[in-house]
Chain A
Amino acid sequence: MLFLTEILGAEVIDVRQHRTGAVRDLTVRVQEPYPVVTGLVVSRRGQLVIPWSEVRTFAAATREVALRATREDIERQSADPNAIWLARDVMDKQVVDTDGRRVVRVNDLQLVEGGGSLLLVGADIGIRGILRRLGLEKLAKSAARLLGRDLPMVLVSWEVVAPLGSAPDLEHPVSDDAIRLRISGSRIAKLHPADIADIVEDLGAKERKTIFDTLTEDIAADTLEEMELADQVSVIEHMDAERASEILEEMPPDEVADILTELPREQADRLLSLMEKEEAQDVKELLAYEEDTAGGLMTTEYVAVPERLTAQQCIDELRRMEPNAESIYYVFVIDAEEHLRGVLSLRDLIVAQPDTLISSIMIRDVITVHLEDGVKEVAAVLSKYNLLAVPVVDDAFRIQGLVTVDDALDAVLPESIKRKLPKAR
């Protein structure tokens, strides 16, 4: 991942190591969903535009652009007067949302190399962009770290930006050259992990890695969760093991197990050994089950409480556990040997008198599936009883995990249908 400001001002060097000038701007051709960079505007005698195909490499560290051609060859090129120049026509422009409300300005532009070309994938509309251009980004980041805070990157995906117009004509200067979004301003607070996932899925393995390297672990984990299994596997495969294990720790054990199943045995073992013990243990248990059974599908993140508690104690216990959103709907009641005795809904708990024993209000006939039940059976149970999740038990009726309705849906929907579903905005 690259920001426009990182390439502006970089030294351009031709194939014979002659200096040709500094990068003043990039030109783009508008195409959906991401505009593609077509040329390099060099700040030397007027407006020299070098086609992007003549660019061999850009080294961010030394800020040097290396060309394939000689200086003389390039000087014969002429600029397209109608091209859009990123620094001149897009950078710093007003961003307005669907209601025509002014939101912010374009503080920087995010570029990603993919399939041999450079794509404009997003706009930085946060304070990080401003700090970067003031040369203060690193300083501010360490200052934030000292205060124990994270300086979040506020990006908006170019997919939600309406197509850019052509260059303004001189007779009628445009008073409205704003960058228009296709969504409402309140929704662009941040590039959602699902949006990052969409961008990443369109890219090659190498580019994916560059994007993931810039994300924090929890955002990387959220992004990974939004991706298809095959893509998840390829991302983890190409990532350095240490970092991969840190990202996997942030993910639900069932997803991790799915990914690890697809990886070569050796690599999966290595990742497991790098992960924290507790997380690794959950994953290992899941790995023991066949992929297309309830055991393979389930997550081990569920809420279970001992049957001797009162309603008040039970609520206190939930507060202490802070269960995640997926598992809060059902509270399972177990005995000392983890046998599943009943189930409570949050509603039952809250309306009960505080000193009522939960064993007296729980539902004893729990709908369950067995570890070895196939995914279709699990889906059928969820559908038949209108459940958000169903507990998974072993032969002795001990609770082992939980299959949520969205995991089950994912498993039974054929791949071909999933591809046809519209991308949700």
Chain B
Amino acid sequence: MTRLAVRLRRFRRLFILLAVIGPGLITTNAGNDAGAIATYSQAGAEFGYQMLWILALITVSLAVVNEMSARMGVVTGKGLADLIRERFGVRGTTLAMVLLLVANAVTTMAEFAGVAAALELFHVPKYASVPLVAIAIWLLITRGSYPVVERVLLSIGVVYLAYIVSGIVSHPDWGEVIRSTLVPHPVPSLNYFLLAIGLIGTTIAPWMLFYLQSSVAEKGIPNEQLPYSRVDAISGAIFADVVAFFIIVAAAVALYGKLDAATLANMQAADYARALEPVVGSAAFILFGIGLFGASLLSGGVVPLSTAYTVTEAFGWERGVGHRMADAPAFFGIFTGLIVIGCLAVLIPGVPLVSLILLSQEINGLILAAILVFMMVLVNDRRIMGRYVNGRLINTIAWATVALLVSLIGLLLAFSIPGSPLSG
């Protein structure tokens, strides 16, 4: 009898975990989009295993930031934009919203460009693939309820296993891989440093912070289930970086030392899939292609969704995928608008996609710094968080992360602003 009770309790726990899990995994997976995959591939191709230790450190930062987001979502039942508007007023919020809207619109374009590139690997023309994918995403999110949307987004995440498999089938030297991950060994080169910043920048984006907290809030998770939400947020960070890890490994095995710097600088995610084919065979090519398609598909849905949540929260309009379109017109309007813009940018010839994407990365870096500081203020405010404010240890790690990120972002901006002494 007691054994049955214990077993039942275990099942109950598992059930709650399964119910609570989702936002963290979806957010971090969606963060591993086409741009991120290109950065990871380049890290492996250019520096072999020498960047793995940095990835390990980033994972800790990402886990800490994710945990704070999830905790704020559970405890307040509000999104990050809600809290920023209520605490910091109209001025800061409006500025952040305008910048975020621009950055997210461009990011959406990049995701649809990723869809086009991935399916072109399999000889599907973009004029067929992009509109079809856009309509599929739109139908899913406007017609589905939140649980349905979440389950579909979660299952798209399974394609990331493709990258893990391709990392394993590339047969790396495991001893060397583990040593490189645990022992820091920086390479004194400008390119190494820049790529390290890029690695951090692609792993944490402002829209991710907003999306994670909004979707946790929309699930209405009670305070007692906070531990499960933490598991979701932290395991999301770990899973996403394990995927990144295997992409770097696969690229390192296949391409390290085989490509010159000029070629590397211009390679996109799909180019790496092509480059892998002659070295590791068509299996890796197919796996990389599938992974890229899934990643772009997921992010192509999540980034517009995140934007819709964020802007409607800031101005207090009705929102949530659970509503009918007539009840939340602004929410569905922003979502639809971004998808249309993203889609058109890829299909209309002559749109300067590459320079737009660079611009959006700079804007993202700029707002990320501000948003992280806002987050730290909010998560430590007792009027908002009650007894769920940060503990001393978490605060130390979090502020260190914020300080590191902010200074790296500052450097990245200094490098990328034309005419500055640091820019190449």
Contact = CB atoms under 8 A, between A and B. Distances in A.
Interface stretch (A54-62, A139-147, A171-179, A278-286): A171-179
B386 A105 contact: no
B77 A175 contact: yes
Contacts of B82: 94
B86 A92 contact: yes
Interface in A39-96: 91-95
Given A94-B82, A102-B316, A104-B317, A176 B77 contact: yes
B317 A170 contact: no
A134 B318 contact: no
A133 interface: yes
B76 A105 contact: no
Interface string A348-383: 000000000000000000000000000000000000
Contacts of B384: 173
Given A173-B76, A176-B77, A92 B90 contact: yes
B91 A134 contact: yes
A168 B318 contact: no
Nearest to B387: A171
Contact of B78 (A95, A103, A175): A175
A92 B83 CA distance: 10
Interface in B85-144: 85-86, 89-91, 94
A94 B81 CA distance: 12
B316 A168 contact: no
Contact of A102 (B76, B86, B318, B383): B318
Contacts of B399: none
B325 to A, nearest CB: 14
B7 to A, nearest CB: 34
Contacts of A130: 90, 94
B75 interface: yes
Interface in B294-340: 315-319, 327
A102 B319 contact: yes
B77 A172 contact: no
B90 A103 contact: no
Interface string A384-407: 000000000000000000000000
B382 interface: yes
Contacts of A176: 77
B385 interface: yes
B386 A173 contact: yes
A107 interface: yes
A175 B94 CA distance: 23
A92 B318 contact: no
Interface residues of A, number: 21
A170 B389 CA distance: 11
Most buried by A among B82, B86, B90, B94: B90
A101 interface: yes
Contacts of A102: 316-319
A104 B90 CA distance: 13
A173 B75 contact: yes
Contacts of B77: 175-176
Nearest to B386: A173
A134 B90 contact: yes
Nearest to A167: B383
A170 B383 contact: yes
Contacts of A101: 318, 327
Nearest to B220: A175
A105 B85 contact: yes
A134 B94 contact: yes
B76 A175 contact: yes
B185 to A, nearest CB: 46
Contacts of A104: 315-317
B225 to A, nearest CB: 14
Contacts of B318: 101-103
Interface in A122-141: 130, 133-134
Interface string B366-393: 0000000000000000111111100000
Interface string B388-415: 1000000000000000000000000000
B90 A107 contact: yes
A239 to B, nearest CB: 34
Contacts of B89: 91-92, 133
A92 B383 contact: no
A60 B97 CA distance: 31
Given A102-B318, A104-B315, A175-B78, A168 B91 contact: no
Contact of A173 (B86, B94, B385): B385
Contacts of B388: 173
A134 B89 CA distance: 10
Contacts of B76: 173, 175
B315 A105 contact: yes
A189 B246 CA distance: 55
A171 B82 CA distance: 21
Contacts of A93: 86
A209 B318 CA distance: 37
A91 B93 CA distance: 14
A134 B97 CA distance: 14
A25 to B, nearest CB: 12
B329 to A, nearest CB: 12
A170 B94 CA distance: 29
Interface in A160-216: 168, 170-173, 175-176
Interface in B168-183: none
A357 to B, nearest CB: 49
B386 A133 contact: no
Nearest to A8: B89
B93 to A, nearest CB: 8
B10 to A, nearest CB: 30
B33 to A, nearest CB: 30
B90 A168 contact: no
B221 to A, nearest CB: 11
Nearest to B319: A102
30 contacts: A91-B89, A92-B85, A92-B90, A102-B316, A102-B317, A102-B318, A102-B319, A103-B316, A103-B317, A103-B318, A104-B315, A104-B316, A104-B317, A105-B85, A105-B315, A105-B316, A107-B90, A130-B94, A133-B89, A133-B91, A134-B94, A168-B383, A170-B382, A170-B383, A171-B386, A171-B387, A173-B76, A173-B385, A175-B78, A176-B77
Given A94-B316, A170-B386, 9 more contacts: A92-B90, A103-B316, A103-B318, A104-B316, A133-B90, A172-B386, A173-B383, A173-B388, A175-B76
9 smallest beta-carbon distances between A and B, as pairs = A105-B316, A175-B77, A173-B386, A133-B90, A102-B318, A104-B316, A92-B86, A94-B316, A92-B85
Interface of B: 75-78, 82, 85-86, 89-91, 94, 315-319, 327, 382-388
Interface of A: 91-95, 101-105, 107, 130, 133-134, 168, 170-173, 175-176
